[in-house]
Chains A and B, each alone.
Chain A
Amino acid sequence: MQQKTRPIQRFGQAVSKCTAEASVYGKCIVADYNHVYKDKCVNEFMKLKNCYLVRGPYLL
């Protein structure tokens, strides 16, 4: 049986509630996108991920 909403849609909905955090993370990367390395913006990313985990706990 097919689910009404697919996981990616629920994921998208949860992420859409964290636009502020996503923007902060994006700005951190875009500030110097010629020099990106692993965990360059790890703090900003963890804030984004925390927000998404709080808003969409049913996903995990």
Chain B
Amino acid sequence: MPPPRLNLLFPRGIQKRTAFTSPTPTSFQVFNRKTKFLQRERAALLPSSTQTDYLKDEVSLRLTDRLLDIKRHFPQVLDLGANTCNIARALISHGPDVLSKIGHLTCVDSSGAQLYRDPDSSFQQLKDKMTREIIVDEETLPFEKESFDMVLSSMSLHWINNLPGVLSQINSILKPDSPFIGAMLGGDTLFELRTSLQLAEQERRGGLSPHVSPLADVRDVGGLLGKAGFKLLTVDVEDIVVDYPDTFCLMQDLQGMGEGNAVLGREMGAISRDVLLANEGIYRELHGNEDGSIPATFRVIHMIGWKEGGEQPKPLKRGSGEVNLKDILEQ
């Protein structure tokens, strides 16, 4: 009698269940998206909302600057997480050089108050070329596959819980050989506030609670883009340092931008006055400028990734080189 075959003893079904079942990829929940939504809705209604546009406008200007390097026309463009349509405003202030590259701009955001804060009249130059749409959540994009020639995103991705998921969704709604150009806060953003609040809470209350978001590092972003299927990656960092008269102005402006704390597991309620008082002294002593103002660093990560396809240049296969680099270098 022949020995029993292995796959009879271990039928495939059982093997699958025991050894190699990979769990469904779970994304870490870091931010309370509901809180963030409410903060941004309220922020847009604050009178200080327009006064605190400076940071997002500046980042959007720098982001749209990069369009000048791409010699192409983009019939359908998506602005994901548009805030107050900062990218549309940046495109207008760049003038016809950049505007002529855009066929149609779709600005989407989950917060209607942010999106529709400015009336249509302030986007005259983009009149017929721009639509605004409210989406339910920036983490699930309601668009058809391969429907955009370019996706832009400015100052929005740092509140996304599932960044890898959103990046691969962006990749799938792009047409082949189309770019994604994004900018978000990362790394050491607001490290001054983070450190001084930590010291203040430690001394006043003997413990810590998160006040500044954990943020993606520059090194992670390249890997994330690659995993989402983007090619020809460019990732770079810019520090924007803004000086404020005191820590209260800084925190008020952050609130006006809708960039308040929305970390899950944070302590509910306002920071106590004692901690704010202590924070003011420590911030100024640890980081303050000589002229009495205090600096706040915003580290912006810029990223460009291209969806694979078309006649896009690709790296040659490993080992296919015919010229010895050593010979060239020795010449």
Residues of A within 8 A of B278 (CB): 25, 29, 45, 48
Number of inter-chain CB pairs below 8 Å:
77
Instruction: Tally B residues with Cβ within 8 Å of A.
Output: 25
Separation of A52 and B276 alpha carbons in the complex (Å): 12
Given the interface contacts A15-B246, A15-B280, A22-B280, does A37 sit within 8 Å of B202 by beta carbon? yes
Separation of A8 and B272 alpha carbons in the complex (Å): 12
Given the interface contacts A33-B199, A48-B277, A49-B274, does A15 sit within 8 Å of B248 by beta carbon? yes
Given the interface contacts A11-B273, A37-B206, does A30 sit within 8 Å of B285 by beta carbon? yes
Residues of B within 8 A of A40 (CB): 203
Given the interface contacts A11-B273, A23-B281, does A45 sit within 8 Å of B204 by beta carbon? yes
Separation of A22 and B278 alpha carbons in the complex (Å): 8
Picked from B203, B251, B283, B284, the residue with its CB within 8 Å of the CB of A36 is: B203
- Chain A 1-58 residues near chain B, CB threshold 8 A: 2, 6, 8-9, 11-12, 15-16, 19, 21-27, 29-30, 33, 36-41, 45, 48-49, 52
Residues of B within 8 A of A45 (CB): 203-204, 274, 277-278
Residue from the set B204, B249, B285, B286 with the largest chain A CB neighbour count within 10 Å = B285
B202 touches A36 (CB 8 A): yes
B277 touches A26 (CB 8 A): no
A23 touches B248 (CB 8 A): no
Separation of A16 and B248 alpha carbons in the complex (Å): 10
Nearest neighbor of B247 in chain A, beta-carbon distance: A12
Separation of A2 and B276 alpha carbons in the complex (Å): 23
Residues of A within 8 A of B204 (CB): 38, 45
- Chain B 259-301 residues near chain A, CB threshold 8 A: 273-274, 276-278, 280-286
A37 touches B285 (CB 8 A): no
Instruction: Tally A residues with Cβ within 8 Å of B.
Output: 29
Picked from B47, B276, B281, the residue with its CB within 8 Å of the CB of A25 is: B281
A29 touches B199 (CB 8 A): yes
B199 touches A36 (CB 8 A): yes
A37 touches B281 (CB 8 A): no
Separation of A19 and B283 alpha carbons in the complex (Å): 12
Q: Is the interface of A mostly helix, strand, loop or mixed?
A: helix
A41 touches B248 (CB 8 A): no
Residue from the set A26, A30, A52 with the largest chain B CB neighbour count within 10 Å = A26
B203 touches A11 (CB 8 A): no
Separation of A22 and B205 alpha carbons in the complex (Å): 18
Residues of A within 8 A of B252 (CB): 6, 8-9
Picked from A2, A19, A29, A52, the residue with its CB within 8 Å of the CB of B203 is: A29
Residues of A within 8 A of B200 (CB): 29
Picked from A19, A24, A38, A49, the residue with its CB within 8 Å of the CB of B202 is: A38
Separation of A15 and B286 alpha carbons in the complex (Å): 17
B199 touches A9 (CB 8 A): no
Given the interface contacts A38-B202, A41-B203, does A12 sit within 8 Å of B248 by beta carbon? yes
A23 touches B284 (CB 8 A): yes
Query: What does the 1/0 interface line of B187-214 toward A look like (CB < 8 Å)?
Result: 0000000000001101111100000000
Binding site for B on A (CB under 8 A): 2, 6, 8-9, 11-12, 15-16, 19, 21-27, 29-30, 33, 36-41, 45, 48-49, 52
Binding site for A on B (CB under 8 A): 47, 199-200, 202-206, 246, 248-249, 251-252, 273-274, 276-278, 280-286
- Would you list 14 pairs from A and B whose C-beta atoms are within 8 A, ordered by A residue? A6-B252, A15-B246, A22-B280, A22-B284, A23-B281, A25-B278, A26-B286, A30-B285, A36-B199, A38-B203, A38-B205, A41-B203, A45-B203, A49-B277
